[in-house]
């Protein structure tokens, strides 16, 4: 099987590696190796890789910034496709179009340079466009669906589609893509010209980022907010109420700065994080009755 997969991937002409440590590619700094790892530099390269996977039955995983991801300690079987090479951003009038591998920070920077308002809330979100659309990323009162016009993507059979935001079923940390193995190629955002120019847009972005640094444990490896907001409450407040700040399993710890974050306090494994999440869920349910649902996406083998 390995030799067949090697040949099939080699025939695509896209460079690939074997055994790439995924801890290098996630903000948690946790995870085993990718069996195969490739970073296409164009959509045709991406399509050739996906076609090879479908033909040979190679499982594949689409990797963005790894900022909302927990990878199993035994890694990911098959091919991990990193989207970082597909990162072009164009600005036309009040519209910003970005490929799926573009970082949200870079998209925000392009909007700021053009004096376009509407994406300030996303400044500091560490993900890529594809992952942001996938989970309808949001913060500080804004969500991507508020400024999104349409998305171009490949379905699970490799066919291209473009859908308007109205058909993308975007809700709280959810979209049409949730649970599907589609590949988001690009997203188009409609912003507004700020009458005061780039400086005003930049000032609002920097204020958002200052608030992030002040409240969140950005100095530690993590995957951002660990739990979704339960209806009628806030996850961080519930966890804090249960006295779980600083609670630890192995190298995984509930942040003492923000109880909604599980951090890698040093040498944490995927098993540590999952065990800690399970304990937090159990204790919060026992003491408050609320059920916490993880926001972090878990993949790979443990």
List, for residues 251-272, the tens digit of each pLDDT value. Answer: 999 999 999 999 999 999 999 9
Rg over alpha carbons for the chain, rounded to the nearest Å, is 20
Report residue 2's pLDDT band, with 50, 70 and 90 as the boundaries. confident
Phi, psi of 138 (to 5 degrees): -160, 165
Report residue 18's pLDDT band, with 50, 70 and 90 as the boundaries. very high
Counts of helices then strands in the chain (DSSP H, E): 7, 19
Phi, psi of 89 (to 5 degrees): -130, 130
- CATH fit for domain 218-293, picks 3.90.78.10, 3.90.1150.10, 2.40.37.10, 3.40.50.300: 3.90.78.10
Distance CA 96, CA 278 (A): 40
Q: What is the pLDDT of residues 205-215, one digit of tens each?
A: 999 999 999 99
Question: Residue 272's pLDDT is what?
Answer: 98
Cβ distance 251 to 268 under 8 Å? yes
Buried b (16+ CB within 10 A) or exposed e, 167-191: ebebeebbbbbeeeebbbbbbbbbb
3-class SS of residue 301: strand
- Which CATH number applies to 2-82? 3.30.43.10
- Of the chain, the percentage scoring pLDDT greater than 90 comes to 96
- Active-site residue 282, yes or no? no
Distance CA 33, CA 25 (A): 10
Q: What is the pLDDT of residues 157-180, one digit of tens each?
A: 999 999 999 999 999 989 999 989
Q: Choosing from 23, 143, 152, 173, which is the catalytic residue?
A: 173
- Active-site residue 195, yes or no? no
- CATH fit for domain 89-213, picks 3.30.390.50, 3.30.465.10, 3.10.129.10, 1.10.1740.10: 3.30.465.10
- Active-site residue 225, yes or no? yes
Considering Cα of 279, then 281, then 284, then 286, what sign does the dihedral take?
negative
Cβ distance 290 to 284 under 8 Å? yes
Report residue 76's pLDDT band, with 50, 70 and 90 as the boundaries. very high
Q: Choosing from 23, 103, 225, 255, which is the catalytic residue?
A: 225
**Which of 61, 216, 230 lies closest to 125 in space, CA to CA?**
216
Q: In the chain, what is the straight-line distance between the N-terminal and C-terminal CA atoms, in Å?
A: 22
Average pLDDT over residues 199-207: 97
């Amino acid at each position: 099987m390995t030799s067949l997969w090697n040949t099939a991937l080699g025939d695509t002409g896209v460079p690939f590696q074997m055994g790439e440590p995924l801890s290098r590619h996630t903000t948690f700094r946790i995870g085993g190796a990718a069996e195969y790892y490739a970073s296409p530099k164009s959509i045709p390269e991406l399509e050739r890789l996906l076609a090879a996977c479908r033909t040979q039955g190679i499982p594949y995983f689409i990797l963005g910034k790894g900022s909302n991801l927990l990878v199993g300690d035994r890694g990911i079987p098959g091919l991990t496709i990193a989207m970082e090479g597909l990162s072009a951003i164009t600005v036309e009038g009040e519209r910003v179009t970005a490929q799926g591998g573009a970082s949200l920070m870079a998209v925000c920077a392009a909007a700021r340079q053009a004096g376009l308002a509407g994406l300030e809330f996303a400044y500091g979100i560490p993900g890529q466009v594809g992952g942001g659309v996938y989970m309808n990323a949001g913060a500080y009162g804004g969500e991507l669906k508020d400024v999104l016009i349409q998305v171009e993507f490949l379905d699970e059979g490799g066919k291209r589609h473009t859908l308007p935001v109205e058909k993308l079923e975007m809700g709280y940390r959810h979209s049409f893509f949730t649970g599907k193995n589609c590949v988001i190629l690009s997203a188009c955002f409609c912003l507004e010209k700020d009458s005061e120019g780039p400086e005003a847009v930049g000032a609002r972005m920097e204020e958002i980022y200052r608030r992030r640094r002040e409240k969140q444990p950005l100095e530690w490896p993590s995957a951002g907010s660990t739990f979704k907001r339960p209806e009628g409450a806030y996850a961080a407040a519930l966890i804090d109420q249960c006295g779980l700040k600083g609670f630890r399993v192995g190298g995984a710890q509930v942040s003492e700065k923000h109880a909604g974050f599980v951090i890698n306090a040093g040498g944490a494994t995927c098993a540590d994080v999952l065990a800690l999440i399970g304990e937090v869920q159990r204790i919060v349910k026992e003491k408050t009755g609320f059920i916490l649902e993880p926001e972090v996406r878990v993949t790979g083998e443990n």
